Structure 1
Amino acid sequence: MDPQLLPLMLALPLLVAVAMSDLRSLRIPKYLVVLCGLLFLATASVLGSGELLARLLAAGIALVVCFALFAARIIGGGDAKFFPVFILFVPSGEVALFMLSLSVGIVASAIAVSAARIHGSEERAPQWTALRKSSGFPMGVAFLAAALVFLSLAQA
């Protein structure tokens, strides 16, 4: 196993919590963002200083881009806060593969959420805000899917 993937593997339970929260309320709570950041800091020692700096640079760029997307009302505030922390878990040499994985995760999540909305999940599971036809898109689900796709491809 590549030690650079260890932080992301350890973050999977938190990503499940992010996805569940986003499905339930279309919100990614700040405490989950903070916990992910703390987990990254706790596992950063397995990375070299060059890798750590590259990941921090990627997170800084992501923060600026996410802020602009949030200001333009393209993404929600939770997504804008979470993604820069999430990108810290991606090895710098694998960002392209991760972005491909994120694209797959977004498409797969959009199909799954749309299918659930079409098949009346709103009536059967009213507690899931993301399954209401008039609601937004739960990016937390796409983040989890992206992590799973990425880990599958990165270890292949």
Structure 2
Amino acid sequence: MLATVLIALFLAGLIFGALHDVASMTIPNWLSIAFAVLFPVGALILGVPLVTIGWHILAGFIALLICFGLFSIGVFGGGDAKLIPAVMVCVGPAGAMAFVYGLALTGGLLAILILMSRRFVPSHAVPGFLQRSVVEGPGIPYAVAIAFGGVWAIPASPVLFQIFSASALNSLTML
């Protein structure tokens, strides 16, 4: 049951962050805090070894240092620079490369789509909830790429995959 709640919160948080970023070009701080805090607590309750949880926290800390550097030179916005390390805490070191790969691939495609939209789609044809990210700002709603990267990393992250698998098994046995 807890596994189902944790994976649902993980996925819901990713989706919420992506939609919020698209609509407002911001990512709430509480979302990053929730990822960074809820994963270690949930993993501890599920019996994940402390050493493994420690490695996940270390992966998030290393990502925070890298993202802080990228934020300071203007590559990322502040919300992106906080959400990436928070999600990295969840995916851990084993899922880090898959997360970064999914993030970079999706982010590149998203940037191309947004830039093409800004150039070729008239602003009056863009739906209201996309106005802020597609028409108005120079930035890219990168939480969309972070969300795809987080989902992409689930199979590569032993802890997340175990939680996801346990959740799926629970759902099947309830049928």
TM over 0.5: yes
- The total of aligned residue pairs comes to 151
TM-score (norm 2): 0.73
CA-CA distance at 1:152 after TM superposition:
6.0
Residue identity in the other structure for 1:76 = G
Match status 1:147 vs 2:150 = yes
SS of 1:37 mapped into structure 2: helix
Q: Answer whether contact 1:22 1:138 (CA < 8 A) is retained.
A: yes
Match status 1:126 vs 2:128 = yes
CA-CA distance at 1:13 after TM superposition:
0.4
Q: Answer whether contact 2:64 2:82 (CA < 8 A) is retained.
A: yes
Please say which of residues 119-128 and 71-80 is displaced more in the overlay. Answer: 119-128
Please say which of residues 132-141 and 11-20 is displaced more in the overlay. Answer: 132-141
5+ residue gaps in structure 2?
162-175
SS of 1:132 mapped into structure 2: helix
Q: Answer whether contact 1:11 1:39 (CA < 8 A) is retained.
A: no
Displaced runs of 4+ in structure 1, greater than 4 A? 6-9, 152-155
Change (3 A) 1:42 1:63: same
Q: Answer whether contact 2:28 2:79 (CA < 8 A) is retained.
A: yes
CA-CA distance at 1:31 after TM superposition:
1.9
| Whole-Å separation in 1 of the counterparts to 2:108 and 2:70 | 19
| Whole-Å separation in 2 of the counterparts to 1:89 and 1:44 | 9
Please say which of residues 129-138 and 69-78 is displaced more in the overlay. Answer: 129-138
Please say which of residues 36-45 and 9-18 is displaced more in the overlay. Answer: 36-45
Once the two structures are aligned, what percentage of the paired residues are identical?
A: 25
TM-score (norm 1): 0.80
Compute the RMSD of aligned alpha carbons: 2.6
| Whole-Å separation in 1 of the counterparts to 2:57 and 2:100 | 17
Structure with max Cα Rg: 2
Greater helix fraction, Structure 1 or Structure 2:
2
